[in-house]
Amino acid sequence: METVHYESYQEKDKMLLKVLDDNGNVTDLEATKQEVHEKHLWHQEVAIFIINNEGKILLQKRSNNVHYNNGKYGMVANHVGANQSLVDAILQKAREEIGYEINPNDVRYLTMLKRNEEREQRFTYFYYIKTDIKDEDIKLNTYLATEKKWFDFYELQELMLTNSEEVVFKATPAYINIFGELSKIIKHNNTIHKNRKKEFIILNTSDGCFLPGLIQKAEKETKSIIIFVHGSGGNFFKSDYYNDMFEEFNYQGYDFMIANNRGAEQFSRLHRKKAGETETIKAGNMYENFDESIFDIEAAVNYAKEEGYTDIILLGQSLGTLKVQYYCEQVGDIKKVILLSPVDMISRFRSRVKDEYDELVEKSKKLVEEGKQYEMVTDEFSAFKIASTMAKGCKADLFKLEEDRDISKPLNYNGNIAIIVGTNEHVYKRWDISYIKDRLKNRFSNAKFQFYTIPNSTHDYNGHEKEMTRIIIDSILKMK
């Protein structure tokens, strides 16, 4: 096929595309590129990552003649014409934009995303090619692209996760998914990340989700890492006191990892790959299923192990304490745990809804059984959230702080546990701190138990960040 030359980029708006249904099936309809955008019709798009033998990715800077993302680095991408195959559309755009002839036999499928966005509705098919391409093989069409650049994978991933204006990729569920898949292809091919003190990462969960995170490294290489698990609606991009943790932990010789889990923000969306297809799921504090939290922590722990860490400490806060403990109960490979402000979600929910508790829990369980798990039961929480996190006997029912709960059987954990609480904790307003200590000590009677208080500190440790961090270090030093 010969390279197509356009007198103006706007002429591409007249290109005929196949119209799809919302399941991605081709219909009998065709429409111009301009029409599918204006009418929000489902259509096909393709893109390809061109990877050289060093594991670097080729991107080109989009010229001011293109419609969107002018002046930003992006990959070879194309709409699929009515009479084109997916691969043919990629081959055509590579010839047209970078003057490079891709061997179709070398093209490999990466992933497909169904993207319902403000500008357009599309099924985007991502491919990649590993090639011995040289700079002299690339001849840019300067009408479409003004510069080329080879990016290290970890550099590009960081630009995406930090929403850099240099590239078209942003920290959306779609791109986090794409880079998660791409990491399986490229990871460890290039090693620039090994020299970085601050490394943005993507965790791949065993149930197919991708979660953004960060590792801050100590000055000297270490095999010890502290993994932080945030609480309800947390987000590692937004919480200030993490910076104090970074500094102190690194100074003491510990690397520090923090990542969003599927309970990040009040509402979010995740892409999950299931049976070869990518689906979009509701997540965040309103919609998360506590039972799935084990996959998030497992992904973080496995990442640390793969990077060579042998001394792994789990540090959870608020709802994150329950997620950490649930993981430890089920997996049992972590022997050093720190819990900041452990909560009893059952007592918290009962104190809010009072006499409606039983009714709301039963309603939630029924909705989950009927496949209506995302239906909102209260203004704050879906059926999924309530049934999996706030119902007696659920996986999150671990600490049992209420006086009428049976705690005769201790938790199944025999490692080191350090608990830190503030004396002004709103989650304990019904009890004094000595009661909380005794209750939790009873629950962890099989473990090596430490308990600390921070006078006048609240649940979020505002104004007490450095004190909290010092206590964490002291507690770790006492763990054998």
* 93, 127, 152 - which closes a domain: 152
Taken as a whole, the chain contains a residue count of: 480
- d(Cα 295, Cα 204) in Å, to the nearest integer? 9
Residues 431 and 306 in one domain: yes
Q: What is the pLDDT of residue 264?
A: 93
SS3 state of residue 32: strand
- d(Cα 156, Cα 238) in Å, to the nearest integer? 21
Residue-level pLDDT, tens digit, the chain, 480 residues: 334 444 456 677 788 989 999 888 999 999 898 898 888 899 999 999 999 988 899 999 999 888 778 899 999 999 999 999 999 999 999 999 999 999 999 999 999 888 877 667 889 999 999 999 989 999 999 989 999 999 999 899 999 999 999 999 999 888 999 999 998 888 766 656 666 788 889 999 999 999 999 999 999 999 999 999 999 988 877 666 567 778 889 999 999 999 999 999 999 989 888 777 778 889 999 999 999 999 999 999 999 999 999 999 999 999 999 999 999 999 989 999 999 999 999 999 999 999 999 999 999 999 999 999 999 999 999 999 999 999 999 999 999 999 989 999 999 999 999 999 999 999 998 899 999 999 999 999 999 999 999 999 999 888 898 899 999 999 999 998
Backbone dihedral angles phi then psi of residue 478, each to the nearest 5 degrees: -85, -10
Is residue 341 within 8 Å of residue 421, measured between CB atoms? yes
Q: Is residue 280 part of a domain?
A: yes
Judged on CB neighbours under 10 Å (0-12, 13-18, 19+), 268 is buried
- d(Cα 307, Cα 429) in Å, to the nearest integer? 42
Backbone dihedral angles phi then psi of residue 426, each to the nearest 5 degrees: -70, -20
Q: Is residue 386 part of a domain?
A: no
Backbone dihedral angles phi then psi of residue 170, each to the nearest 5 degrees: -125, 165
Close Cβ partners of 114 (under 8 Å, ≥ 6 residues apart): 24, 123, 278, 280
* CATH number of the domain enclosing 322: 3.40.50.1820
Q: Within 13 Å of residue 279, how many CA atoms lie on the same side as its CB?
A: 8
Is residue 100 within 8 Å of residue 112, measured between CB atoms? no
Residues 19 and 84 in one domain: yes
Residues 144 and 205 in one domain: no
Residues 92 and 209 in one domain: no
Q: Is residue 241 part of a domain?
A: yes
Write the pLDDT tens digit of every residue in 71-112. Answer: 999 999 999 999 999 999 999 999 999 999 999 999 999 998
Q: Is residue 349 part of a domain?
A: no
Backbone dihedral angles phi then psi of residue 22, each to the nearest 5 degrees: -75, 0
Q: What is the pLDDT of residue 4?
A: 44
* CATH number of the domain enclosing 81: 3.90.79.10
- d(Cα 185, Cα 22) in Å, to the nearest integer? 29
Residues 239 and 311 in one domain: yes
Q: Is residue 373 part of a domain?
A: no
For strands 311-317 and 336-340, give the pairing: parallel
Residue 66's domain spans which residues?
9-152
Residues 102 and 215 in one domain: no
The Cα-based distances of 196 to 58, 193, 255, 298 in angstroms read 22, 5, 12, 24
Number of domains, the chain = 2
Residues 209 and 144 in one domain: no
Task: Report pTM.
Answer: 0.88
Residues 403 and 463 in one domain: yes
Q: Is residue 277 part of a domain?
A: yes
Q: Is residue 384 part of a domain?
A: no
* 152, 182, 206 - which closes a domain: 152
Residues 18 and 105 in one domain: yes
Q: What is the pLDDT of residue 265?
A: 92
Q: Which residues pair with 126 in a beta bridge?
A: 47, 111
- d(Cα 320, Cα 337) in Å, to the nearest integer? 12
Residues 140 and 54 in one domain: yes
Q: Is residue 186 part of a domain?
A: no
Residues 206 and 146 in one domain: no
Residues 14 and 130 in one domain: yes
Amino acid found at 312? I
Q: What is the pLDDT of residue 67?
A: 75
